[in-house]
A and B are shown apart, each in its own frame.
Chain A
Amino acid sequence: MMAAQKLIALLLAWSGIAAALARYFPGRRKVLLLSCVCGFAGGMFLLALCKVDSPASIIRFSAGAAFLSVWMTALTALYRVTGRGGKSLPSEDIHPTPVFMASGAAVMSGLLAGAISVYLMVPKGGAALPYILTLGLASALFAGSAIALERFIPKIITLTTTATLTLVVSLLLFATSLTLQLDLFAPLSMKVMKFIHDFVHQFFESMLVPDHLFFRHDVWVYIGYLFSRGVGFWGGLLLWFAPVILVGVAIRLEPLPPVSHIRQGAERRKQLANFIRVRRNRLIVPGFTMLILAAAVYNSSYPNVEYWDPPPVVVTMNPSGMIVIPKKGEIDLEDGKLHKYLFRQKGREARFMILMTPNGKLTVTLDACAICKPDGYGQTEGAVICYYCKTLIPLETVGRPGGCNPVPLPFEVKEEGISIDALTILNRWGETVTSTSRIEGGGK
C-alpha cells in the first residue's frame, strides 16, 4: 500500500515534469516524449547497473546539484531584472527551442527521475528487471499522457526559463522526499542547525565571553533559541524556498516594456496592461512550485516509513554491578535488528540499545546522541534514524562516536552474553543526554 502511494506520487511528479517541459518547449511534443522515455529508461538502467556501495549518495548529489543550479538561476534572474541588464517580457517570451535543448532537458530530468524510481521501488537484492520494465512502461504512459494533456492547461499559465527549471527541480526534489535515504530537506536543516551551532560556539569562543551572571540568566536564554530545533527547521525552510521566492520576485520586478513610441494613449495603456497581466500570470508557476516544495518538506518531516522500534526491555544489574544480556535468549542479539533496554537505579534511568551491524560487529550504544534531545532511534532499511533530527545513520557506522551517531558504550562479549557496566551507562546518560534535554525544545 505504502509502495503504491509512493509510486503514484512519483509518477505524478514525473508527469508534472513532462507537462512543464511540453509547455516550455511548444511544438516539440514527439521529441520530448522520446527524450523523456529514453532519459527515464537510462536513469533506471544506470542505477540498476550501478555497483557502488551507496547509490543514494549519487542521487542525492545530483538532486543537490540541481537545487544549487536553481539557486544560481534564481540569483541570475534577479540580477538581470534589478541590474543594468534589465530585460523586459518579449525577450523571455520567445523561447529558442532547438530540438537539442528540448531533448537535453527531458533526458536530464528523465535520468534523475528514472534513478529515483529504481531506488524507491526496486527491492534491494531482488530481481530488478520486472520492476524496471513495469516502471518504464508506467513512466512512458504517464509522460505521454501529460504531454498530450498539456494543451488543456489554461494558456494563461506561461513559463519562463527560470520558472521551468525551478518547477522541474522542485518536482524531482518532491520525488526524492518520498524516501528518507534520498531526502534533501532533513540534511539541509541539519546542516543549518550545525552551522549555527558552530558559528555561535566559535563566536563566543573568539569573544572570550566571561561567565557573567547576566549571561547566565538572560543572554543564555536567548542564545538557547539559536540551539533550538526550530532554528534548523526554519533556516532550512528559508534556504529551501528562497530560490522560488527569488524567481517570483524576479518576475515581479521585470521592467515594463518601452511604450513611449506609441502615440495613441489607449493603445499604449493596453500594451502595458497586457504586459502586467502576463507578468502576473507568470507568478502562478512559482506559486505552484512553492506548494510542491511544501509537500516535499511535509514528506521529509513526516516520512511515510515504518520503523523497527521495539519497546525497551527493563534490565537489572547483577551483584557485581554489571548488566549481562544473553546473545541468544528470548531475543537474538545477532539478528541485525535494533534491541532496546532500560536500566533504572535509585530514581535514575538510562536507555541503551544493542545492534549487530551488517559487517557482523556487535555494538552497544545509548538510545540518544550527543547533539539532539534524547528522542531515541528507530531502525529503517540500512540505517537507524534519529527521531529528533531525522538524520539517517548507516548501520555500518553505528558504534562510532560523533555527530548524531548514538553514543557508544564500552562492553565486553562473554560466554554468557554481553556485559556492560551499569554505572557507566547511567553516568554516560547523565553526562550527555541530560544536558541535551535541559534546553526546552532544543539540542545541546
Chain B
Amino acid sequence: MASDIIETSGLTRSYGEICALKPLDLTVPAGQWLSVMGHSGSGKSTLLNLLGGLDRPSGGSLRLGGEDLMTLSEDGLARFRREFVGIIFQQHHLVPYLTALENVMMAQYFHSVPDEAEACSALEKVGLGHRLKNRPGELSGGEQQRVCIARAIINSPKLLLGDEPTGNLDHQNTGMVMELLNELRAEQQFTIILVTHNRDVAAWGERIISLDDGVLVREERTGR
C-alpha cells in the first residue's frame, strides 16, 4: 500500500471575507492520478496553488511528502517547490525569447545546474527532439504544452500539478498530451493532480473529486 503523499485536514483559504476553499480533508496516495473538477470559482485553482506551495493556507494543516508546509519559511517553501513539485499551466508561461531547449534548461538552472544533454533527452521524450532550437512562437499549442511538460518533469518532481493543461488544445492535441502524461507517470512514478473542466480529460485519472463553492461535493473512482 502506497503511503499518502498529500494529507490535508481542515484546509481553508480565505481572501478577506471570501472563503475560496472551505475546510477540506483530503489524502492522496503516492503515484495516484487525481483529477479535480468544478466550475469557475469553485476553488480548484486555489487548491492547486496550496498544494504546489504557491500560496499559503488560511487554516488547517497541509502535509506534502511528509513535510508540513504550514511551518516552512519562504526559503523553505521555495526549496520545496524546486525539488518536489512540477507545474503545467494552461497558458504555458514559456519564455518567448528562449528556445524550447533553453526553456527546459532554465528550469534546471533554478533547480541546480543546467545539463544540456539531459534537457535534450527530456524534449525527445515528449516528441520534440526535432524542435530543440525553436522558440515558443514557432511551435504549435500542443508542442508548447509538451515543452511545458518537459520543463515540469525535468527535475524529477514527486508531484505534478496541471492547471487546465489542455484548456487551449484541440481534441487531437489533448489526447496526445494526456497519453504523454500517462506514459511519463508510469515511467517516473510521480503523482498527478490535474484541474480540468473537461470530463474526458478528468477520466484519465484514477480518482475524480468535484468542488463546488470551495466544498468537496463528490468523489468517484474511474476504474483506471
Whole-angstrom distance from the CB of A76 to the nearest CB of chain B?
29
Task: Tell me whether A266 is interfacial, beta carbon within 8 Å.
Answer: yes
Which residues of A have CB within 8 Å of B111?
266, 269-270, 273
Task: Tell me whether B108 is interfacial, beta carbon within 8 Å.
Answer: yes
How far apart are the CA atoms of A274 and B82 in the complex, in Å?
14
Considering only residues 96-118 of chain B, those with a C-beta below 8 Å from chain A are 108, 111-115, 118
Cβ contacts A261-288/B at 8 Å (1 or 0 each):
0001111111011101000000000000
Please tell me if the beta carbons of B113 and A265 are within 8 angstroms of each other in the complex: no
Main secondary structure on A side of the interface with B: helix
Cβ contacts B113-157/A at 8 Å (1 or 0 each):
111001001000000000000000000000000000000001110
How far apart are the CA atoms of A266 and B112 in the complex, in Å?
8
Which residues of B have CB within 8 Å of A270?
83, 111-112
Which residues of A have CB within 8 Å of B114?
269
Main secondary structure on B side of the interface with A: loop
How far apart are the CA atoms of A28 and B164 in the complex, in Å?
57
Which residues of A have CB within 8 Å of B113?
269, 272-273, 276
How far apart are the CA atoms of A374 and B154 in the complex, in Å?
71
How far apart are the CA atoms of A386 and B38 in the complex, in Å?
88
Count of CB-CB pairs between chains A and B under 8 Å:
31
Please, how many residues of chain A have a CB less than 8 angstroms from a CB on the other chain?
11
Which residues of A have CB within 8 Å of B112?
266, 269-270, 272-274
Which one, A264, A269, A276, contacts B108 given CB within 8 A? A269
Whole-angstrom distance from the CB of B184 to the nearest CB of chain A?
14
Which residues of B have CB within 8 Å of A268?
115
Which residues of A have CB within 8 Å of B156?
264-267
Please tell me if the beta carbons of A265 and B83 are within 8 angstroms of each other in the complex: no
B83: nearest chain-A partner, CB-CB: A270
Please tell me if the beta carbons of A269 and B115 are within 8 angstroms of each other in the complex: yes
How far apart are the CA atoms of A296 and B114 in the complex, in Å?
42
Which residues of B have CB within 8 Å of A272?
112-113
How far apart are the CA atoms of A229 and B18 in the complex, in Å?
76
B122: nearest chain-A partner, CB-CB: A265
Whole-angstrom distance from the CB of B126 to the nearest CB of chain A?
15
Which residues of B have CB within 8 Å of A273?
111-113
How far apart are the CA atoms of A274 and B111 in the complex, in Å?
11
Which residues of B have CB within 8 Å of A265?
115, 118, 121, 154, 156
Whole-angstrom distance from the CB of A261 to the nearest CB of chain B?
15
How far apart are the CA atoms of A265 and B111 in the complex, in Å?
11
Which residues of B have CB within 8 Å of A266?
83, 111-112, 154-156
Whole-angstrom distance from the CB of B69 to the nearest CB of chain A?
20
How far apart are the CA atoms of A414 and B114 in the complex, in Å?
88
How far apart are the CA atoms of A272 and B113 in the complex, in Å?
7
Considering only residues 337-379 of chain A, those with a C-beta below 8 Å from chain B are none
How far apart are the CA atoms of A269 and B112 in the complex, in Å?
6
Considering only residues 237-275 of chain A, those with a C-beta below 8 Å from chain B are 264-270, 272-274
Whole-angstrom distance from the CB of A269 to the nearest CB of chain B?
4
Cβ contacts B142-180/A at 8 Å (1 or 0 each):
000000000000111000000000000000000000000
How far apart are the CA atoms of A276 and B83 in the complex, in Å?
17
Whole-angstrom distance from the CB of B192 to the nearest CB of chain A?
17
How far apart are the CA atoms of A270 and B113 in the complex, in Å?
7
Which residues of B have CB within 8 Å of A274?
112
Whole-angstrom distance from the CB of A272 to the nearest CB of chain B?
5
Which residues of A have CB within 8 Å of B108?
269
Cβ contacts A210-235/B at 8 Å (1 or 0 each):
00000000000000000000000000
Q: Which of B112, B115, B121 has the most CB of A within 10 A?
A: B112
Considering only residues 38-59 of chain B, those with a C-beta below 8 Å from chain A are none
Seen from chain A, the residues whose Cβ lies within 8 Å of a Cβ on chain B are 264-270, 272-274, 276
Seen from chain B, the residues whose Cβ lies within 8 Å of a Cβ on chain A are 83, 108, 111-115, 118, 121, 154-156
* Shortest beta-carbon contacts, A-B, top 4: A273-B112, A266-B156, A269-B112, A265-B118
Can you list 26 contacts pairing A with B, beta carbon distance less than 8 Å?
A: A264-B156, A265-B115, A265-B118, A265-B154, A265-B156, A266-B111, A266-B154, A266-B155, A266-B156, A268-B115, A269-B108, A269-B111, A269-B112, A269-B113, A269-B114, A269-B115, A269-B118, A270-B83, A270-B111, A270-B112, A272-B112, A272-B113, A273-B111, A273-B112, A273-B113, A276-B113
Other A-B contacts than A266-B112, A270-B112, 18 sampled, CB-CB below 8 A, are A264-B156, A265-B115, A265-B121, A265-B154, A265-B156, A266-B155, A266-B156, A267-B156, A269-B112, A269-B113, A269-B114, A269-B118, A270-B83, A270-B111, A273-B112, A273-B113, A274-B112, A276-B113
